[in-house]
């Protein structure tokens, strides 16, 4: 249980550290980013993002299991 709390603390610290960079984007920046991704680019990024998310989830699950000693 202690190892899991260490992992969760590391995840929380990373999220808190990354939050200012996301908050720094103005509404105009967000609109420009979204407007620049259209058509086949949007499909490419959606598929790639989905694949990366699934792989990261599998890796994270295995990492947590190994840290818990299972």
pLDDT at 8: 79
Name the strand (E) or helix (H) holding 69.
Answer: none
Please check the confidence at residue 1 and state whether its pLDDT lies above 70.
Answer: no
pLDDT at 11: 77
Domain ranges (residues) in the chain: 2-67
Please check the confidence at residue 63 and state whether its pLDDT lies above 70.
Answer: yes
Query: Which residues contact residue 16 at a Cβ distance below 8 angstroms, ignoring those fewer than 6 apart?
Result: none
19-52: b (≥16 Cβ within 10 Å) or e:
eeeeeeeeeeeeeeeeeeeeeeeeeeeeeeeeee
pLDDT digit string (tens) for 10-57? 878 877 777 777 677 788 877 877 787 777 778 888 888 899 999 999
What pTM value is reported for the model? Answer: 0.45
pLDDT at 55: 92
CA dist 68 and 20 (Å) reads: 31
């Amino acid at each position: 249980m202690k190892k899991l709390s260490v992992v969760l603390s590391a995840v929380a610290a990373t999220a808190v550290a990354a939050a200012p960079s996301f908050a720094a984007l103005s509404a105009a920046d967000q609109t420009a980013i979204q407007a620049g991704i259209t058509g086949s680019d949007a499909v490419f990024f959606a598929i790639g993002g989905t694949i990366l998310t699934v792989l990261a989830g599998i890796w994270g699950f295995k990492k947590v299991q190994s840290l818990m000693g299972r």
